[in-house]
Amino acid sequence: MKRKVASRRLNRTCICCNKSFVKGEIYYIERNVLKEFGEIFACEYLVCPRCKYENERKGERRKQFIESGKCHHPITDEIWKTIAGEDYVKEPSHTECCICGEVV
């Protein structure tokens, strides 16, 4: 993400909190350009410093939580796999935690 300073009031807002930017405020911009089927597609995302910091911090906290082994697996999901030799028939394979991804 590039760090920029608004040179004027921007019509676009932060994608997370919908905050508008006025002259002199700092914002971060991420631009994605894709070439698909012979055409070029581009999208830009504006993020305010507060949301950027919160998202980075959430990732760090989640990583520390998983590494510390404190997850008690409160949310689980049953994973289904296809049966060998069958196309659309599935059977339950195992249960895994939706937070840490560990097989329960």
Residue 46, number of CB atoms within 10 A of its CB: 21
Question: First and final CA of the chain: distance in angstroms?
Answer: 37
**pLDDT for the residue 42:** 93
Q: Tell me: do 17 and 54 sit in the same domain.
A: yes
**pLDDT for the residue 64:** 87
Provide the CATH number for the domain around residue 16: 3.30.1740
Quick check: pTM over 0.75?
no
Task: Pick 86 or 96 by higher pLDDT.
Answer: 96
Q: Tell me: do 58 and 23 sit in the same domain.
A: yes
Q: Tell me: do 51 and 80 sit in the same domain.
A: no
Residue 8 pLDDT > 90: yes
Q: What is the pLDDT of residues 35-62, one digit of tens each?
A: 999 999 999 999 999 999 998 899 898 8
**pLDDT for the residue 83:** 86
Q: Tell me: do 77 and 38 sit in the same domain.
A: no
